[in-house]
Amino acid sequence: MKAESSNDSFEIGQRVHSLNDSRRVGTVKYVGDVEGYSGTWIGVDWDQDGDGKHNGTVNGVFYFNGRSQSSASFVRSQNLSHGITLLQALELRYRTTSTKDEEDEMYVLSAGNRRVSIQLLGGDKIQDKLSRFEELTSASLSYLGVSSLGVSSDLGSILPNLKLLDLTGNLISDWEEIGALCEQLPALTTLNLSCNSLSSDITSLPQLKNIRVLVLNNSGLSWTQVETLRRSLPGLEELHLMGNMISALTSTSSSDGQAFNSLRLLNLDDNCISDWSEVLKLSQLPCLEQLYLNKNKLTHIFHSVNGNESPKKSSDPFPSLRCLLLGANSIGDLASIDALNVFPQLVDIRLSENPISDPVRGGVPRFVLVARLTKVQVLNGSEVRAREKKDSEIRYVRMVMSKLNDKSEEIELLHPRFYELKKLHGIEDERASAENSGPKNMASGLLSIALKCVGPSMGEKPELTKKLPGSITVGKLKILCENFFKLKSIKPRLFLQEEGSPFPTALDDETATLLDVGICDGSTLLVDEES
């Protein structure tokens, strides 16, 4: 199955892999002599940093530019392969029987530490079914060194039912050949070309009306190339573009006959987008339901081009968007959270690993995010149930009241949902009512709080439920916990356990009141110890 290797078979720009490791993939950058060494050498710039030994300069002599200090090396031609065809890869993956050495490695150890051979039940039937190419509906040919798709007129009769084809990590670059492959496979709807160094020339690509899902992660495509590509994909529903260093987009209007009008999912994770105005260029895609923007460089979200609220337009931004993933960006302001409410269908939001969702970095706890996001049903991958939504909104209103009571202008500016939520839940101003000093009113203002000891040096202590005024500070509550649990020489640290949040929120501001940090009736506090 290995392609022939000879000096004249390698050309600059050609994709190759190491003869004994098809996952070690690179691009030929030099063919010729190397000073101090005999014979002809192939200079390869490997895709993975560390696969090489230098940057294309050896002993002070420059030969080519490597991507990094350890991505390049010189290799003899007999140690490289320029790959195999698609049909050869299918034979290799689905029709090659296990060798004796591979079968010998299938074993478990007995109680006496002896090898006991195992055999897969039904393995022969599975292998027999996979070897019948005409019945294959999906094929995974990742990292097999496929360099030629070997398109022929009989390919459709060999693979008539193939719907999904995974060609991740191969040596494919020619879009014209990719287009011919799709035309020959009438059932093909899903194509994965991730980790292939694809040509920038996409003009020769024909109309691929059957392709619904296209995966181009880590393929070096710019958004300009994506714009060219979309003209050939009128029925595309999912497009994955992770890790392509994309920083700028171009406006995409639904009135454009060549726009992604059928696109439902766009994955732009792990790129370099820093300005939300670039994202807004996608806001008129009519069917876009899921937009993935994890691991970019976004700092602020707004819903108009100039960052200010604008009068309602004839069409809402992102009219169909239900899921927006913004994890691991640099979003740190609550105005960005409020801006998400303008998207009419948005219910699934990820904000984890942003400063705004991390109280340690000056962010806010989960209940504040739940309260400020009008329609949220899933936050950071965790369902927001009706009970959590209600409790979070009540806690949020009481927290704002405790901090900004009677400062209506400041409240309207900083907490746009405050009066709406206060009216919705019928909440009265607790501080105003507390002026009535009667015992009945004092008792009605107490919060029932569960306290759980979790510190490793505290021993097993029963959970306590205490009724405490919301006006006491975190520092005062720590002192009370020392008395409640008889903690000698242990300095307690308090955490608020929130429904739907995987981690409790640390309460480190000792001057804040319980209402300030969002503790309400029925809250659970974890009593840990300072490390």
- Spell 18-54 as b/e; 16+ CB within 10 A means b: bbeebebbbbbbbbeebeeeeebbbbbbbbeeebbeb
Task: State how far the Cα of 2 lies from the Cα of 97, in Å rounded to an integer.
Answer: 17
- Mean pLDDT computed over every residue of the chain: 86
- The answer to whether residues 213 and 189 touch, using CB atoms and an 8 Å cutoff, is yes
Asked which of 171-175, 225-229, 396-400, 512-516 is least confident by mean pLDDT, the reply is 512-516
Structure-token pair, residue 37: 């060494």
Tell me, what's the pLDDT at 257? Answer: 53
- Who has greater pLDDT, 459 or 212? 212
Structure-token pair, residue 405: 């009571």
How sure is the predictor about 433, in pLDDT bands with cuts at 50, 70 and 90? Answer: very low
Read off the pLDDT of residues 371-426 as tens digits, 9 standing for 90 and up: 999 999 999 999 999 999 998 999 899 889 888 777 888 888 899 999 999 999 99
- The answer to whether residues 175 and 199 touch, using CB atoms and an 8 Å cutoff, is yes
Tell me, what's the pLDDT at 2? Answer: 45
Task: State how far the Cα of 406 lies from the Cα of 408, in Å rounded to an integer.
Answer: 6
Query: Residue 39 contacts by C-beta under 8 Å, 6 or more apart in sequence?
Result: 33, 76
- The answer to whether residues 252 and 239 touch, using CB atoms and an 8 Å cutoff, is no
Can you tell me the mean pLDDT for 258-276?
Answer: 93
Read off the pLDDT of residues 291-320 as tens digits, 9 standing for 90 and up: 999 999 999 999 875 544 443 444 678 999
Tell me, what's the pLDDT at 95? Answer: 80
- Spell 123-136 as b/e; 16+ CB within 10 A means b: eeeeeeeeeebeeb
- The answer to whether residues 42 and 10 touch, using CB atoms and an 8 Å cutoff, is yes
- Who has greater pLDDT, 196 or 408? 196
Q: How many CB atoms lie within 10 A of CB 501?
A: 19
Task: State how far the Cα of 454 lies from the Cα of 29, in Å rounded to an integer.
Answer: 60
Tell me, what's the pLDDT at 8? Answer: 52
Asked which of 127-131, 200-204, 283-287 is least confident by mean pLDDT, the reply is 127-131
Q: How far is CA 457 from CA 95, 155, 482, 487, 529, in A?
A: 61, 69, 13, 10, 8
**To which residue do tokens 């919705």 refer?**
424
Structure-token pair, residue 418: 């405050």
Question: E strand or H helix at 265, and its extent?
Answer: strand 265-267
How sure is the predictor about 153, in pLDDT bands with cuts at 50, 70 and 90? Answer: low
Tell me, what's the pLDDT at 332? Answer: 96
Judged against a pLDDT cut of 50, whether residue 100 lies above it is answered with: yes
Query: Residue 79 contacts by C-beta under 8 Å, 6 or more apart in sequence?
Result: 5, 18, 19, 20
Q: How many CB atoms lie within 10 A of CB 460?
A: 5
Give the pTM: 0.81
Can you tell me the mean pLDDT for 254-274?
Answer: 85
When mean pLDDT is compared over 81-85, 163-167, 255-259, 424-428, the highest value belongs to: 163-167
How sure is the predictor about 518, in pLDDT bands with cuts at 50, 70 and 90? Answer: confident
Can you tell me the mean pLDDT for 8-13?
Answer: 82
Q: How many CB atoms lie within 10 A of CB 385?
A: 12
Quick check: helix, strand or coil at residue 419? helix
Q: How far is CA 60 from CA 12, 64, 68, 293, 410, in A?
A: 22, 12, 16, 43, 66
Percent of the chain with pLDDT over 90: 60
Tell me, what's the pLDDT at 7? Answer: 45
Can you tell me the mean pLDDT for 53-81?
Answer: 94
- Who has greater pLDDT, 432 or 389? 389
**Angle, alpha carbons 277-272-323 (nearest 5°):** 65
- Who has greater pLDDT, 365 or 275? 275
Residue 389 phi, psi dihedral angles, 5° rounding: -60, -45
Task: State how far the Cα of 402 lies from the Cα of 22, in Å rounded to an integer.
Answer: 64
Helix and strand numbers (H, E) in the chain are 15, 27
Quick check: helix, strand or coil at residue 210? coil
- What ranges in 263-365 are assigned the alpha helix state H? 276-279, 334-339
Task: State how far the Cα of 155 lies from the Cα of 133, in Å rounded to an integer.
Answer: 11
Read off the pLDDT of residues 460-517 as tens digits, 9 standing for 90 and up: 889 999 999 988 999 999 999 999 999 888 899 999 888 777 778 888 888 888 887 8
Task: State how far the Cα of 229 lies from the Cα of 433, in Å rounded to an integer.
Answer: 65
Judged against a pLDDT cut of 90, whether residue 272 lies above it is answered with: yes
Q: How far is CA 321 from CA 279, 318, 347, 457, 484, in A?
A: 13, 5, 9, 49, 50
- What is the 3-state composition of the chain as percent helix, strand, coil, each rounded to the nearest 5? 25, 20, 55
Read off the pLDDT of residues 331-355 as tens digits, 9 standing for 90 and up: 999 999 999 999 999 999 999 999 9
Task: State how far the Cα of 196 lies from the Cα of 217, in Å rounded to an integer.
Answer: 9
How sure is the predictor about 1, in pLDDT bands with cuts at 50, 70 and 90? Answer: very low
- The region that residue 522 occupies, defined by phi over 0 for left and psi between -120 and 50 for alpha, beta otherwise, is left
CB-count exposure of residue 403 (10 Å: 0-12, 13-18, 19+): middle
